[in-house]
Structure 1
Amino acid sequence: MLLSLTLLPLMASAVSGSWSGSGVGGVVSVGGQTLASRPLMPVIPPGATLLRITWRIKLLSAPPLGLRIKLCSQDKCILLDSLSGQKNVEGALTANGPFYFIYSVESQGQLLPPLNVVSNQLTISYR
């Protein structure tokens, strides 16, 4: 019994959960431009550690060659290698938002068709 009372504070601090949010995107019509999504503001407990992210991005047309997508928090960004996926990110990003999707196309000139981001969705798992 004494051991269980001793471990109680550790168990209470190890609460885990998840948060999901989504937003609309925007348009990039010329290579070299950067588009930042509207901020996604998670509501999570103070001191939580971000463990895993899941994302899904919908485009109006096929992604252009040279598309780079990053997910950024307050002080760091990570490269996302596809329009949807999951990634373990423990220690790579802070758990508190806001989070932004950053889109850029590494090319020159007008994009035909333009990059039109219909939506971006983010789910974060934390402990």
Structure 2
Amino acid sequence: MAGRAFGSIVAIASAAVAVISPAVAASSLMHTNFGGDSRHAWTASVSAPALYGRGVRALSAPILPSGYLAQAEGVITAVRWRYRFARVPPPNLQAYLCNANRCVLLPGPEGKTDAFRGDDADKGFVFAFRIPGQGPLTPVLQGQASQITVSYR
């Protein structure tokens, strides 16, 4: 069952990433050196979604780079994430960061992953959130912000 749920999250997230949303507020691209093999990065953020019930997935708007990526191979080396809610979420909150290729279960509200290493840096991401179980979530878990920084070479 968990494999089926994860597969459907990937499918839904892939479809969401394919949609270009003007609601994405992306910062300008940065030229920086994060050490290692990263030479460039882009940062973007969107409002985090609200969760109204258990057992229901909530997706953020697609998070996309703004403008042209700096001259580079455009290959991801690492992704940093951060998400926030208006109140402390339940401990069983499942949070995923997804691109068109995969979804990664996030261990907490902020961190860094190399799971997207080698993927295209000019493609979008979405956050997917789910609280296991059934029934309404009272009070509603109101999202505040979701942000990623994609480091690439």
Instruction: Give the alignment's TM-score, normalised by structure 1.
Output: 0.79
- On the 8 A contact 1:65/1:105 being kept in 2, the answer is no
Q: SS of the counterpart of 2:142?
A: strand
Report the residue type matching 1:24 in the other structure.
S
Q: Which residue number in structure 1 is paired with residue 69 of structure 2?
A: 44
Q: SS of the counterpart of 2:121?
A: coil
**Aligned-pair distance for 1:96?**
2.9
Select which of 113, 136, 144 maps to 1:110.
Answer: 136
* Alpha-carbon distance between aligned partners in 1 of 2:130 and 2:106, rounded to the nearest angstrom: 12
* Alpha-carbon distance between aligned partners in 1 of 2:40 and 2:74, rounded to the nearest angstrom: 9
Report the residue type matching 1:21 in the other structure.
A
Q: Which residue number in structure 1 is paired with residue 125 of structure 2?
A: 99
Report the residue type matching 1:100 in the other structure.
V
CA deviation map 1:27-60 (0-9, x unaligned): 1111011111011112535741111111111110
- On the 8 A contact 2:38/2:77 being kept in 1, the answer is no
Instruction: Give the alignment's TM-score, normalised by structure 2.
Output: 0.66
Q: How many residues align?
A: 113
What 5-or-longer segments of structure 2 have no aligned partner? 1-36
State the structure with more CA Rg.
1
* Alpha-carbon distance between aligned partners in 2 of 1:61 and 1:30, rounded to the nearest angstrom: 15
**Aligned-pair distance for 1:78?**
1.1
Q: Which residue number in structure 1 is paired with residue 110 of structure 2?
A: 84
Q: SS of the counterpart of 1:114?
A: strand
Bigger fraction of residues in strand: 1
* Alpha-carbon distance between aligned partners in 1 of 2:53 and 2:64, rounded to the nearest angstrom: 29
* Alpha-carbon distance between aligned partners in 1 of 2:38 and 2:127, rounded to the nearest angstrom: 27
Does residue 71 in structure 1 map to residue 94 in structure 2? Answer: no
In the superposition, relative to structure 1, how do residues 75 and 88 fare at CA in structure 2: closer, same or farther (>3 Å)?
Answer: closer
Highest RCO, 1 vs 2 (Cα 8 Å, sep ≥ 6): 1
- On the 8 A contact 2:52/2:137 being kept in 1, the answer is yes
Q: Which residue number in structure 1 is paired with residue 43 of structure 2?
A: 20
Quote the RMSD (CA, aligned, Å): 1.9
Q: Which residue number in structure 1 is paired with residue 4 of structure 2?
A: none
Percent same amino acid at aligned positions?
Answer: 27
Report the residue type matching 1:126 in the other structure.
Y
